[in-house]
Structures are given as C-alpha cells and as structure tokens.
Structure 1
Amino acid sequence: MAERIVKEAQVPFEYANQRFDQIATELFSDFSRSRIQSWIKDGVLLVNGVAAKPKEKLFGGEMITLDVELEEQSDHDAQDIPLDIVYEDEHILVINKAAGVVVHPAAGHQDGTLLNAILHHAPETASVPRAGIVHRLDKETTGLMVVAKTLLAQTDLVAQLQERSMGREYEAVTIGVMTGGGMVDEPIGRHPHNRQKMAVEPIHGKDAVTHYRLIKRYHHHTHIRLKLETGRTHQIRVHMAFIQYPLVGDPQYAGRLKMPKGCSEELQDALRSFKRQALHAKRLELTHPATGEWMEWEVGLPQDMQHLLSVLENDLRDVADADFI
C-alpha cells in the first residue's frame, strides 16, 4: 500500500518576501529540500490551493498544503526471505543481519538480498527510497541495521547519520596483539589500483573516524569493540588494516592467511575455516524518528565468532599452562 502524506501550514509573517521553496523547506522540515522542490514542480505542494513557482516570493499568512501519494521507488521483486527482526513498529524496522546476506541488489546479486526481503515483509517500503535502507553492512558482516518504513522516518534517520548522532558499535577480532585502544582518523576513498577495494586516501578520500578499545588480548589476536563516527564503505576493515591489525578472515584486507607460531591445531583449524571478516554490528542507538524517544538495541555475537573466541581462549590457556610447566 502506497504511503500518503497530507500536511498543511500557515506561512508566518516573519517569512515575508522569502521564496516559496525556502519557506516550504522550513515548515515541512521532515522532508529533504530536493523532495520539497520536486513536489512543488509536480503541483502537489500548493499555496492557497494553487500551484506556485519555487522562486515565487510569499507575503506571509498564506496556507501551504501538501497532499501526495508516494509512488513506488523500487523496481525490485519482493521475496519471502526470513528476517531476524529485533524491533518493529509502524515507522522503523531493526534487523539482525546474518553473514552472507547482500543488503542491496547489485551486479551479480539481483535477488536474494535484504532489500528483497524487506519489500516482502513490509510492502509499504516500496514507496521509500532504497526500500528504507539508510545504512549498510558488508555482505559478510553480521549484526544490527535500522530500516525506515516511511519517508518521514527515512529523512530523519538519514539526518541522524549525517549529524553523527546515531550510535553504532561493533565487535571484531584482529590479527595481532594490540597494546591499547585508540582512534583512527584517516580519510577513506576508492583504492587507486583496485576498484573493488577501499583505502586510506589522504587527498581524495572522505573523512572517516573509528574509535576502538580492547576487550581481551590473546596470544596472537585481539578482541576489540569499535564505535563509528562516520560510515564509509569498509571503514572498520580499512582502518584496522591501516594500523596493521587487520580483521581475522578478511578476504580483501588481511592478506594471505599466516598461521601464528606455536598455535594449537584447534586454532589452525578455526582460522582456516573462518572465511569472512570477524566483524559484528553489536549495538545500535538512535532517536526514534516519530516519537523522539532515545532507543538502544544490542545483539549477541553470532555462533561462528563465539566459536572463534572460545578457541582463542583455549589457545591462551594452553600457552599459559606450557609457560607454567
């Protein structure tokens, strides 16, 4: 069912002699400037019931009205794919994404994606850009994502991301033993020689900030918690590799698998069989786009990361026992 938006507002007299599109953007601040301008041009955003040009000056006291039924934005198919839903109401959907799930259709992944599943579960998202997906996780990264079910929610959540007020925390396992936590503040852009990868790019990259702290050090690895200020593609993976602590199992940024000296056969088997980056979006915090309530969710680590950490614990204990003997 398509989403219908009906709104009206009277122009304050202090806005006199300002442009129609500027006033409408102020009064209907739930929506982006570009969308407001599009509605004006389409003749669904009116002044005193009459279409007006975006640059037309208003006097104050006019009534601005909006009555629009949103058209479907997605031409992708709805598919009955199971979703692990953590929270849902009429405005937002919070999902715990599994490993191996592509978020958005692209070359080589036209169906079977999270977007296809969302369209089936919440058909109203067909009228929201990208079916309400406002941020992404890499195919092999697990954990929490929020999806907007309405245009109002989508606009608000995008603004929270841009303002860096949405909290996103991850857990990861790195190769190498860190001495302490810290921050990586390095711009990220497309890799100059490999278009499938991202890289720290001081000149052409966009600002990217990642905070990390230690949870536990192992004999050859470190379990860490990370918090993002920005949301660049592959940000955590690129930043950790840049400081020489790439993520376990990362096929693009960790290089060829090297076995730590003296590690147990159990750990060797665990590392060989871990075929994805050891990264999980564990915690999500945001302001609810409709109620203004601050909301928080947290989900446990997936089974494969739990097993990896268990094996690392065993390896650490075996090394400690050997040292004691």
Structure 2
Amino acid sequence: MAERIVREAQVPFELGGNRFDQIAAELFSDYSRSRIKTWINDGLLLVDGKVTKPKEKLFGGERMVLDVELEDQAEHEAQAMPLDIVYEDDDIIVINKPAGLVVHPAVGNRDGTLMNAILYHAPETAHVPRAGIVHRLDKETTGLMVVAKTLAAQTDLVAQLQERSMGREYEAITIGEMTGGGIVDEPIGRHPHNRQKQAVEPVNGKDAVTHYRLVQRFKNHTHIRLKLETGRTHQIRVHMAFIQYPLVGDPQYGGRLKMPKACSPELQEALRCFRRQALHAKRLELAHPITGEWMAWEVDLPEDIQHLLEALKKDMIESGSEDSDYL
C-alpha cells in the first residue's frame, strides 16, 4: 500500500517576499527541493487551496497544504536474500556488500539485487525512491553501503553526499609499483566510443577527485588506501587506470592479464583466479541523518583480497626483496 503524506504549514511573515518553492523547501525540509518542486508542479502542494507557480512570491500568512501519495517500488519484487548488516536502526541500514551482487535492478538483472533484498528486509523502504539506496558500488566491488529507511533520512544522506561531507575510504591492489601516494583530480564522463565505460573527459566530464596513499608496495603491485571527494561512476577504477596503475582483475580498465616476470607459481595462480577488480569499500563515516551523531564503520578485507595479498607478500619474501615498505 502506498504511503500518504498530509502536512500543513503557515508561511511565517519573516519569509514573506520569497518564492513559493523556496519557502516550501524551508517549511518541509524533510524532503528534497527537487521533490518539493515536482509536487508543486503536480498541484499536490497548494497555497490557500490554490495551485501556485513555484516562482510566485508569497506575502506571509498563507496556508500551505501538502497531500501526496508516495509511489512505492511495486515494480520491484521483495526477495528473501542474505544481507551482511553491520548496523541498523529506525532510519538507516549499513550493509557490507559481497562481490557479485548487483545494487539496482536493470535489464538482465530484474531480481536477485540488493534492492530486492532491502525491500524484503525493510518493507517500509518501498515508499522511498530506489528503496533508500543513495549511493552504489559496482557489482564486483565489496564493502560498506548506507541505505535510508525513510524519506527524511534519504534527503539528508543525499545532501551529505552532495556536500562531500560523507567519508568513504577504499582499499585496492593496483598493477605496478607505486613510489608514493597522491591525488588524481581529473573530470570523468562517458567514454566517447564505448557507452559501457567511463573515461577522463577534460571537456565534458564532471569533476572527480581521488586521494590515494600506499599501504604496502610489492615487486609489481601496490596495496593502496583511497578516499573519495566525489562519487562518479567507476571513479577509482578510471582514475587509477589513467595514472597507469589499474586495479588487479579489472575487466574494463585493467587490460589483459599479464604475469609479472619471475613471479612464483603460487602468485601466478592467485592472479589468474582473481576475476574481479580488487576494490573494497572499507570505511564509511557520516552524520546520522536524524540525530546528527557522527558515526563510523569499518570492515575487514574480503577473503579473496586477503588471499591475494598473502600471495604477493610471500612472493616478495621468497624473491629476497625488502619486506619493509609499510606506511
């Protein structure tokens, strides 16, 4: 059943002289500006019982009435699926996503997605756009994601993402031996020749900033920690490939598998069997969307990345290389 929202508010005289949509955003701050504007245009938010244009100025003292039914996610099936829940309360769920799990249903992936699982676990998210999913991880990327259970929580979390106040840290294994950390500040947009990929696009791309630092350097690979300022599609994968250090196992941006010279049979096997990008969303920080409390979570690297790191360390030790490049 769809959720109905009925809210009333009187326009304070001190807000008189401002536009209708601006005042509405102030008085109904639980909802995003774009959503409020849509409701105004659809005639669902009235001023003194009348449909009013968003840009029309109000005097103060008018009565606003919001009466709307939220569309639910009925087109997406709720499915019982295992979820690794790190934290949950009445407003948010923090999930440790496994590799191989698609976040949103799409053509070819109508079910078996994270959204289907969330709709089953928390049926109230059917009244929240995209079942409360405010950011995404690629299918083969593991790690932490936050999901909003209410519209108010979603609005706040989206604002944190837009303001770049939400902290997201990742760990990855790159091909190539880095000499130090740095920042990649390069705009990202759709690849000009391959619509399935993203690329650094200086003219048409959107700003994208990735910070990275070394965790451990191996003979031909590097274990790094990354922090995002922005959240563009495939951002880490595109930026690391752009600076010539693509992620191990990345099928789109890493090129064909090339074995390092003189590496051990064990490392060759580990690299050959690693069939996804070696990327994990390890840490998540945010202000709780309702209480404002600053919260943080961190999860261990998944077993496949740990196994690859062990193979890289063993290969370095057996080759007689220094095993002291920790930061």
Partner of 2:310: 310
Superposed CA deviations along residues 144-183 of structure 1, whole A, max 9, x for unmatched, are: 0111111111111111111111110000001111000000
Q: What displacement does 1:125 show?
A: 1.0
CA contact (8 A) 2:25 2:32 kept: yes
TM-aligned CA deviation for residue 73 of structure 1: 4.0
Compared with structure 1, are the counterparts of its residues 30 and 90 closer, same or farther at alpha carbon in structure 2 (3 Å cutoff)? same
Query: Within 5 Å, which residues of 2 pair with 1:1-325?
Result: 2-48=2-48, 50-54=49-53, 55-320=55-320
Cα displacement (A) at 1:321: 7.1
Matched letter for residue 34 of structure 2: S
Instruction: Answer whether contact 1:133 1:147 (CA < 8 A) is retained.
Output: yes
CA contact (8 A) 1:74 1:127 kept: no
CA contact (8 A) 2:316 2:322 kept: no
Q: State the aligned residue count.
A: 322
Distance 1:56 1:258 in 2: 63
- Structure 2 SS opposite 1:173: strand
Gaps of 5+ in 2: none
Shift of 1:5: 3.8
Q: Return the offset for 1:269.
A: 0.3
Which letter does structure 2 place at the counterpart of 1:53? T
Corresponding letter in the other structure for 2:81: I
Deviations 1:296-322 (A, max 9, x none): 111100000010111111111111279
Query: Alignment partner of 2:319: what SS?
Result: helix
The 1:137/1:321 distance shift into structure 2, 3 A limit, reads closer
After TM superposition, give the deviation of residue 15 of structure 1 in Å: 1.9
Following superposition, which runs of at least 4 residues in structure 1 exceed 6 angstroms of deviation? none
Tell me the TM-score normalised to structure 2 length. Answer: 0.93
Task: Give the drift of 1:40.
Answer: 3.2
> In structure 2, the residue corresponding to 1:76 is in which secondary structure?
coil
Any stretches of 5+ residues in structure 1 without a counterpart? none
Identity of aligned residues (%): 78
Distance change in 2, residues 1:185/1:57 (3 Å)? closer
The alignment's C-alpha RMSD in Å is 1.9
**Deviation per CA, 1:84-118, whole angstroms, max 9, x where unpaired?**
11111111111100000111111211111111111
- 1:260 positional shift: 0.6
For 1:10-40, what per-residue CA distance to the aligned partner results, in whole angstroms no more than 9, with x for missing partners?
3221222333222111222231223213333
Give the conservation status (yes or no) of the 8 Å contact 1:3–1:124.
no
Aligned to 2:143, the other structure's residue is in SS state strand
TM-score, length-scaled by structure 1: 0.94
